[in-house]
Amino acid sequence: MSPPLEDAISILLIEPNPGDARLFSESFEDANIVCNIHTVSDGESALDFVHQRNEYSDSPRPDMILLDFQLPGVSGADVLSELKSESTLRSIPVIVMTSSPSEEDIARSYDLYANAYVQKPVEPDEFIDLGRSFEDFWLTLGRLPGDRSRRRQSSPLATSRAGPAPR
Protein backbone atom coordinates (compact mmCIF):
# COMPACT_ATOMS: atom_id res chain seq x y z
CA MET A 1 0.00 0.00 0.00
CA SER A 2 1.33 3.42 -0.97
CA PRO A 3 1.26 6.33 1.48
CA PRO A 4 -1.62 8.80 1.07
CA LEU A 5 -1.01 11.46 -1.57
CA GLU A 6 -1.14 15.02 -0.29
CA ASP A 7 -3.98 17.08 -1.76
CA ALA A 8 -5.22 14.17 -3.89
CA ILE A 9 -8.93 13.52 -4.15
CA SER A 10 -10.27 11.03 -1.65
CA ILE A 11 -12.47 8.27 -3.07
CA LEU A 12 -14.49 5.93 -0.89
CA LEU A 13 -14.98 2.61 -2.70
CA ILE A 14 -17.81 0.58 -1.17
CA GLU A 15 -17.26 -2.82 -2.73
CA PRO A 16 -17.92 -6.23 -1.14
CA ASN A 17 -15.90 -8.19 -3.72
CA PRO A 18 -12.14 -7.96 -2.99
CA GLY A 19 -11.28 -8.90 -6.58
CA ASP A 20 -13.41 -6.09 -7.99
CA ALA A 21 -11.99 -3.66 -5.42
CA ARG A 22 -8.48 -4.54 -6.60
CA LEU A 23 -9.48 -4.13 -10.26
CA PHE A 24 -11.03 -0.72 -9.56
CA SER A 25 -7.87 0.43 -7.78
CA GLU A 26 -5.62 -0.88 -10.55
CA SER A 27 -7.74 0.78 -13.25
CA PHE A 28 -7.37 4.14 -11.53
CA GLU A 29 -3.63 3.59 -11.18
CA ASP A 30 -3.36 2.68 -14.88
CA ALA A 31 -5.19 5.91 -15.74
CA ASN A 32 -2.69 7.87 -13.58
CA ILE A 33 -5.50 9.29 -11.47
CA VAL A 34 -4.16 11.16 -8.47
CA CYS A 35 -6.34 9.91 -5.64
CA ASN A 36 -6.45 8.09 -2.36
CA ILE A 37 -8.87 5.17 -2.51
CA HIS A 38 -10.31 3.97 0.79
CA THR A 39 -12.17 0.66 0.54
CA VAL A 40 -14.89 -0.73 2.77
CA SER A 41 -16.86 -3.89 2.06
CA ASP A 42 -20.28 -3.31 3.62
CA GLY A 43 -22.91 -0.63 4.18
CA GLU A 44 -22.42 -0.29 7.92
CA SER A 45 -18.69 0.37 7.50
CA ALA A 46 -19.46 2.85 4.72
CA LEU A 47 -21.74 4.85 7.00
CA ASP A 48 -19.21 4.70 9.83
CA PHE A 49 -16.54 5.96 7.41
CA VAL A 50 -18.52 8.97 6.14
CA HIS A 51 -19.68 9.86 9.66
CA GLN A 52 -16.14 9.32 11.03
CA ARG A 53 -17.40 6.93 13.69
CA ASN A 54 -15.79 4.03 15.53
CA GLU A 55 -12.62 2.77 13.82
CA TYR A 56 -13.02 5.45 11.12
CA SER A 57 -12.86 8.46 13.45
CA ASP A 58 -9.75 9.77 11.63
CA SER A 59 -10.99 9.00 8.12
CA PRO A 60 -11.02 11.81 5.55
CA ARG A 61 -14.28 13.12 4.13
CA PRO A 62 -14.50 11.52 0.70
CA ASP A 63 -14.60 13.78 -2.36
CA MET A 64 -16.42 11.03 -4.25
CA ILE A 65 -18.07 7.70 -3.47
CA LEU A 66 -18.22 4.61 -5.68
CA LEU A 67 -21.05 2.46 -4.33
CA ASP A 68 -21.98 -1.12 -5.12
CA PHE A 69 -25.72 -1.55 -4.54
CA GLN A 70 -25.35 -5.24 -3.63
CA LEU A 71 -23.92 -5.02 -0.11
CA PRO A 72 -24.12 -7.35 2.88
CA GLY A 73 -26.06 -5.92 5.83
CA VAL A 74 -27.07 -2.31 5.21
CA SER A 75 -27.98 -2.16 1.51
CA GLY A 76 -26.41 0.13 -1.05
CA ALA A 77 -29.81 1.79 -1.51
CA ASP A 78 -29.97 2.53 2.23
CA VAL A 79 -26.42 3.93 2.19
CA LEU A 80 -27.28 6.17 -0.78
CA SER A 81 -30.51 7.32 0.85
CA GLU A 82 -28.69 8.32 4.04
CA LEU A 83 -25.90 10.07 2.15
CA LYS A 84 -28.32 12.16 0.11
CA SER A 85 -30.61 12.96 3.05
CA GLU A 86 -27.89 14.59 5.16
CA SER A 87 -26.97 18.17 4.35
CA THR A 88 -23.30 17.66 5.23
CA LEU A 89 -22.95 14.68 2.86
CA ARG A 90 -25.35 15.26 -0.04
CA SER A 91 -22.85 17.27 -2.11
CA ILE A 92 -20.51 14.27 -2.35
CA PRO A 93 -20.96 12.71 -5.80
CA VAL A 94 -22.10 9.09 -5.53
CA ILE A 95 -21.63 6.80 -8.51
CA VAL A 96 -23.53 3.55 -8.22
CA MET A 97 -21.37 0.80 -9.74
CA THR A 98 -23.01 -2.58 -9.75
CA SER A 99 -23.36 -5.67 -11.88
CA SER A 100 -27.12 -5.29 -12.23
CA PRO A 101 -28.47 -4.17 -15.62
CA SER A 102 -31.97 -3.93 -14.09
CA GLU A 103 -33.98 -0.88 -15.18
CA GLU A 104 -35.59 -0.98 -11.73
CA ASP A 105 -32.17 -0.65 -10.04
CA ILE A 106 -31.20 2.17 -12.39
CA ALA A 107 -34.44 4.06 -11.71
CA ARG A 108 -34.14 3.47 -7.96
CA SER A 109 -30.56 4.79 -7.94
CA TYR A 110 -31.59 8.02 -9.62
CA ASP A 111 -34.72 8.29 -7.45
CA LEU A 112 -32.33 8.26 -4.47
CA TYR A 113 -30.23 11.01 -6.13
CA ALA A 114 -27.26 9.00 -7.35
CA ASN A 115 -25.05 11.14 -9.57
CA ALA A 116 -24.50 8.29 -12.03
CA TYR A 117 -25.21 4.59 -12.53
CA VAL A 118 -22.51 2.45 -14.13
CA GLN A 119 -22.72 -1.26 -14.79
CA LYS A 120 -19.54 -2.98 -13.58
CA PRO A 121 -17.26 -4.34 -16.26
CA VAL A 122 -17.05 -8.09 -16.71
CA GLU A 123 -13.52 -8.39 -18.11
CA PRO A 124 -10.37 -7.03 -16.43
CA ASP A 125 -9.48 -4.98 -19.53
CA GLU A 126 -12.86 -3.27 -19.29
CA PHE A 127 -11.93 -2.02 -15.81
CA ILE A 128 -9.00 -0.14 -17.38
CA ASP A 129 -11.38 1.50 -19.88
CA LEU A 130 -13.68 2.36 -16.98
CA GLY A 131 -10.83 4.04 -15.09
CA ARG A 132 -9.95 6.14 -18.12
CA SER A 133 -13.58 7.08 -18.75
CA PHE A 134 -14.02 7.96 -15.09
CA GLU A 135 -10.97 10.22 -15.23
CA ASP A 136 -12.06 11.84 -18.51
CA PHE A 137 -15.48 12.79 -17.20
CA TRP A 138 -15.39 13.14 -13.42
CA LEU A 139 -11.87 14.48 -13.01
CA THR A 140 -11.28 16.41 -16.25
CA LEU A 141 -14.60 17.66 -17.65
CA GLY A 142 -16.64 17.62 -14.47
CA ARG A 143 -15.80 19.50 -11.30
CA LEU A 144 -15.97 18.18 -7.77
CA PRO A 145 -16.74 20.23 -4.67
CA GLY A 146 -13.44 21.73 -3.52
CA ASP A 147 -12.03 21.49 -7.09
CA ARG A 148 -9.31 18.95 -6.31
CA SER A 149 -10.39 16.95 -9.33
CA ARG A 150 -7.98 18.07 -12.03
CA ARG A 151 -4.89 16.28 -10.87
CA ARG A 152 -2.96 13.52 -12.64
CA GLN A 153 0.26 11.85 -11.71
CA SER A 154 2.77 9.41 -13.05
CA SER A 155 3.45 7.59 -9.79
CA PRO A 156 1.28 4.79 -8.36
CA LEU A 157 -2.10 5.35 -6.83
CA ALA A 158 -2.31 5.44 -3.07
CA THR A 159 -4.84 2.98 -1.71
CA SER A 160 -5.88 1.95 1.73
CA ARG A 161 -8.11 -0.77 3.00
CA ALA A 162 -10.39 0.67 5.63
CA GLY A 163 -11.30 -1.80 8.32
CA PRO A 164 -11.07 -5.56 8.34
CA ALA A 165 -10.56 -7.42 5.10
CA PRO A 166 -13.69 -8.91 3.50
CA ARG A 167 -14.29 -12.59 4.14
Residue-wise pLDDT tens digits, 95-108 = 999 888 889 999 99
Return the percentage of the chain with pLDDT > 90, whole number: 55
Q: Rounded mean pLDDT of 38-66? A: 96
User: Is 149 a domain residue?
Assistant: yes
Q: How confident is the model at residue 140 (pLDDT cuts 50, 70, 90)?
A: confident
- Quote the domain boundaries for residue 112: 9-161
User: Is 2 a domain residue?
Assistant: no
Q: If you average pLDDT over every residue of the chain, what do you get?
A: 83
What pLDDT was estimated at residue 146?
Answer: 67
The CATH number covering residue 14 comes to: 3.40.50.2300
What pLDDT was estimated at residue 164?
Answer: 44
How far apart CA 144 and CA 126 sit, in angstroms, is 25
Q: How confident is the model at residue 155 (pLDDT cuts 50, 70, 90)?
A: very low
User: Is 122 a domain residue?
Assistant: yes
Cβ pair 79, 67 in contact under 8 A: yes
**For the chain, what is the domain count?**
1
Q: How confident is the model at residue 79 (pLDDT cuts 50, 70, 90)?
A: very high
In degrees and rounded to multiples of 5, residue 139 shows phi and psi of -110, -10
Cβ pair 76, 98 in contact under 8 A: yes
Q: Is the pLDDT of residue 56 over 90?
A: yes
**pTM for the predicted model, two decimal places:** 0.81
User: Is 113 a domain residue?
Assistant: yes
Q: Is the pLDDT of residue 150 over 60?
A: no
User: Is 4 a domain residue?
Assistant: no
Cβ pair 33, 60 in contact under 8 A: no
How far apart CA 81 and CA 109 sit, in angstroms, is 9
Q: Is the pLDDT of residue 4 over 60?
A: no
What pLDDT was estimated at residue 85?
Answer: 97
User: Is 166 a domain residue?
Assistant: no
**Dihedral sign computed on CA atoms, order 37, 40, 45, 46:** positive
Residue-wise pLDDT tens digits, 114-137 = 999 999 888 877 887 887 887 778
